[in-house]
Structure 1
Amino acid sequence: MTHRIRLAGALVAAGLLAAATVPAAAEEIELHGAVQFDDNHAFNKALLKFEELTKACYGKPIKFVLHRNSELGLEKDYFNFMSKGVSVDYAIVSPSHMSTYSKMAPLMDMPFLFRDLDHWNKVLEQDGLAPIAEDVKKRADVILIGYAGGGTRNLIVKRPITNMEELKGLPMRVMGAPIQTRIFQAVEAAPTVIAYSEVYNAIQTGVIDAAENEAAGIEQMKFYEVGPEISLTQHAITVRPIGFSGKTFRRLPADLQDCIMKSGKEAGKHGRDIESSQDAAKLAKMESEGKLKTHKFTERGKLLELAEPVKKAYAEELGATETLEKINSIQ
C-alpha cells in the first residue's frame, strides 16, 4: 500500500479527577514523492510547496516523504509506480515518459508548441491541456494535478551550431516520445533516444554530439562540461506536470482529495514562476563563469516552418487536432 496510515492514540485525562478516556485514534497519512534532483532545483521547490500547501489546507496529521536525487529511479520509473499505485504517490514527470500509456501526452512537450512564455502561461492557466490530462487519467490512472516547468530548451553541443547547414545531420539525444524524434528529423538533425542518466557519457564518448535541455538541467547535470556550446534554438518551453497516483487518490479522504487538487495547481504555478524567471539567469550565470558559450540560431523561422506540418500530422494521428487548434487560438 503506497500511503501508510498509522494509529497514534493515547490515553488522556479529560479534567481534574476525571476518568482517563481514549479519544478517537488520529490517522497519519504518509505520502511519498520522488524527484531526480536536489532542493536547489525548481522541481523540488514545486513539490515542497505542494507539501506545504496541502498540509496547511488539510489541517490533520499527514506526513510527506520526498525521495530526492533519483533515489527511486528516474521519471519514467516514477510514472510507472504512480500508475500501478506502488512506491510513489506524486512526482513531476516529463510528458514524454507518459507516452507508453497515453499517446496524447507528449503533445504537451512538443517542440514549437508555444509561441512564447506568455502564450505558454495562458494555455496552462486556461486549461488548454485538459483533454490531454483526461487521456492520461483514463489510460494510466495518474491525475495531473498541476503544471510546473517553464525552462526554455536549447541545444547542448560540442561545437557551435548557428544555422540549418550546421544543424544538418547532427547526432543528438532526444526524449523517448516519437514526436521528439520526428520533429528533429524534420529539421534535418539525426536524433537518437538515450536515457537521461546516460546523456553525459554519450556526449563525452562521442556516441552523440548534442542533446537538448533547459538551463536548470544543464546546470544540475553539468552537461556544459561535455557540451559547452549552447545553440539558442528555443525549440520548446517545458511543461512538467505534477502527477498523482489515481489508486492512492481514491483511498484518501474527500477533504484531502480537495486539498491535493487545489494545492497541486498552486504548486505548479509556483514551480513555473521559479523556473521561467530563473532560466535565462542561470544560462547567463554559467556563461559569465566561462562554463559555456551561447550562440544565436539565425534561422529559427526555418525551424518553425519545417516543424509545422509534423505538428499538425501528429495531432491528427492522436485525434487531438481540436486540442492543438485550441492551444494555437489562445491569445
Structure 2
Amino acid sequence: MFLFSTKGLIASAALAMTVTAAQAQDVTLRGASMFDEEHAFTITLRKFEELVAENYGGDIAFDLRLNGELGVESDYVTYLNQGVAVDYTILAPSNMAVFSESIPLMDMPFLFRDLDHWDAVLSSDTLTPLEDDLREAAGIVIVGYTGGGVRNLASAEPITNMEELAGHRMRVMGAPIQAQTFSATGAAPSAIAYNEVYNAIQTGVIAGFENEAASIQNLKFYEVAPHISLTQHTITVRPIVMSAKIFDGLPTDLQDAIMAAGAEAGSFGRALESGQDGEKLQEMIDAGQITVHEFDGRDTMLELVQPVQDAYAAELGATELLTAIRGM
C-alpha cells in the first residue's frame, strides 16, 4: 500500500504551476550597440534577435539601444557581469580583459594568417577553453562569433614604414597584450577610452589609433585621422555575448534557441563584415575622406611580435591553445 501526502501533492502542483507560469511569461531581452542600424554589428544583432524568435516557441521581445545610448563597450562588460541594463551585445575580447586575462588571446594582433584561417578557428570548438574562463571569471556567455573587419593604422599623418612607426603615439584597446604587441614594433601605445579617441587625436594627445573600416566610417574618425596604413594586423573576433546571470535564469528551451541563434547569427555576421570591409574602405577613398598607404615592413612586424605572443600564451598556460590556433 502506498501513502500519499496531500500537502506534498499540493506543494508539487503549486510548484509546477509556478514554473509553467514563469515559462509562459513574456521575456524581454535588453541589447546594446555603439552604432547605428547600418553598422554590421547592429545588423548582426538584429539577425540574432530574428533567429532567437524563430527558434523559440514562447513569446519574446527585444529592446536594442543604439548609437552608444547605454555607453561604450567597457560599460557593457560591467553591465553584463552584474546582470543589469544590458543582456546581449557584441564585444571586442580585449574589452573583457578586466575580468578575464586570457580572453584577449583570441583577438591578438597577427594571430590569423588570412580569412580562411580565421573562419576555420571560429567555426570550430578551438576557443572553448577561453569561453569557459570568461563564463567563470566574468559571468559572460559567448553564444556566437562575428567579426571579420581587418584592422589597420589610422593616423593624422602618414605612417608608411617601421621608421615612421617608431615612437608613434597611438591608442590601443585596454588589454595589456595590445600595448605589448605594438610596443614590440617600436610604437608608443596607450590605452584610451574609445569615446575619447576623436578628441585625443584632435588635440594631439595621440597621433592615431588602429581600427577596421566600418567603425572609422561610422564614427567619422577619418575627420581627424585620414591616413590609413595597411598593416592588416588583425582580423577581428567579435563574440556575441550574453550575461550569464540573465541567461541562466531563462527557460531551457529559450537557452537552446539562443545558442542556436548565436551560432547562425555569428556565421551571418562574419560573412557580412568580412565582405563589407573592403567596400567601406573604398567608399571612404571615393569620397575623398581617407588616403590609403601601403606599409613597408609588415614581415618585420611579424618577427618582432611573435615572441610577445609566445610569452603571453605561456604566462596564461595557453601555449597548447596558441599552437592549436596557429596549426589550423
Shift of 1:133: 0.8
Task: Confirm or deny: 8 A CA contact 2:23 2:251 kept in the other structure.
Answer: no
Q: Name the amino acid aligned to 1:62.
A: I
Cα distance between partner residues in 1 of 2:119 and 2:23: 44
TM-score normalised by the chain length of structure 2: 0.92
**Aligned equivalent of 1:178:** 176
**Aligned equivalent of 1:276:** 274
Cα distance between partner residues in 2 of 1:162 and 1:100: 33
1:88 counterpart (86, 89, 93) = 86
**Aligned equivalent of 1:146:** 144
Q: Name the amino acid aligned to 2:206.
A: I
Q: Alignment partner of 1:128: what SS?
A: coil
Cα distance between partner residues in 2 of 1:24 and 1:51: 21
Task: Show CA shifts across 1:297-321 (max 9, x none).
Answer: 1111001000000000001111111
Gaps (5+ residues) in structure 2? 1-20
1:251 aligns with 2:283: no
Task: Show CA shifts across 1:114-144 (max 9, x none).
Answer: 0111100000001221111111011111110
**Aligned equivalent of 2:201:** 203
**Aligned equivalent of 1:75:** 73
Cα distance between partner residues in 1 of 2:22 and 2:85: 29
Shift of 1:24: 11
Gaps (5+ residues) in structure 1? 1-22
Q: How is 1:149-298 mapped onto 2 (pairs within 5 angstroms)? A: 149-298=147-296
Q: Name the amino acid aligned to 1:95.
A: P
How many corresponding residue pairs?
Answer: 308
Cα distance between partner residues in 2 of 1:25 and 1:237: 40
Shift of 1:59: 2.6
Cα distance between partner residues in 2 of 1:225 and 1:270: 31
Q: Name the amino acid aligned to 2:177.
A: I
Cα distance between partner residues in 2 of 1:154 and 1:226: 15
Cα distance between partner residues in 1 of 2:75 and 2:163: 38
Task: Confirm or deny: 8 A CA contact 2:112 2:235 kept in the other structure.
Answer: yes
Identity %: 56
Could you tell which deviates more after superposition, 121-130 or 308-317? 121-130
Shift of 1:196: 0.4
2:110 counterpart (109, 112, 122) = 112
Task: Show CA shifts across 1:71-114 (max 9, x none).
Answer: 11111111111111111111111111111111001111110010
Give me the CA root mean square deviation. 1.3
Q: Name the amino acid aligned to 2:265.
A: A
Cα distance between partner residues in 1 of 2:122 and 2:22: 42
Cα distance between partner residues in 1 of 2:224 and 2:135: 38
Cα distance between partner residues in 2 of 1:24 and 1:131: 33
TM-score normalised by the chain length of structure 1: 0.91
Shift of 1:25: 9.7
Runs of 4+ in 1 over 4 A off after TM superposition: 23-26
Q: Name the amino acid aligned to 1:209.
A: A
Cα distance between partner residues in 2 of 1:123 and 1:275: 17
Q: Alignment partner of 1:115: what SS?
A: coil
Q: How is 1:32-111 mapped onto 2 (pairs within 5 angstroms)? A: 32-111=30-109
Shift of 1:26: 4.3
Cα distance between partner residues in 1 of 2:34 and 2:156: 25
